[in-house]
Amino acid sequence: MHRLLFLPIVGAALSLGPVSSVASPEVPPQRQAELIHLLKHDCGSCHGMRLEGGLGPALKPNRLQNWSPEQLAVTILYGRPGTPMPPWRPFLTDSEAFWLAQQLKQGLQ
């Protein structure tokens, strides 16, 4: 039962769009600004406002190079059970999480 429930979630995560280095067209500019604000201030409460780490690890490109944006998007959407990393599913769409993951991979200025 549980496995059946889990499968579509993984499926959804894996069907995220292809990696692109430009800003995803699916996230309008105004929403992008909101997401950056969220990243700095709300993710920042655990990862540091400059994403250099806090209770959660630093989210700098060099630390994240072993993960694909898809994998990071899954972590963002579903969290890491057993750790303080919460699921952001209620507040983010797949493409928004993917866009955030891309920003993390690229590094914010």
**Minimum CB–partner distance for residue 39 and another protein (Å):** 12
Query: Taking CB under 8 A as the criterion, which residues in 16-55 touch another protein?
Result: 40-42, 44-46, 48-50, 52-55
**Minimum CB–partner distance for residue 87 and another protein (Å):** 6
Q: Which residues of 18-54 are buried (b: 16+ CB within 10 A; e: fewer)?
A: eeeeeebeebeeeebeebeebbbeebbeebbeebeee
What is the DSSP secondary-structure string of 49-79?
Answer: TTSS-SSSPP--HHHHTTS-HHHHHHHHHH-
Question: What is the binding site for ligand HEC (CB under 6 A)?
Answer: 38-39, 42-43, 45-47, 55-57, 59, 72, 75-76, 80, 83-86, 88, 100
d(CA 57, CA 48) in angstroms, rounded, equals 9
**Minimum CB–partner distance for residue 1 and another protein (Å):** 18
Angle, CA of 40, 45 and 47, to the nearest 5°: 75
Stretch of 8-16, 60-68, 86-94, 100-108 contacting another protein, by CB under 8 A = 86-94
Site residues (vs another protein, CB under 8 A): 40-42, 44-46, 48-50, 52-55, 79, 82, 84, 86-87, 91
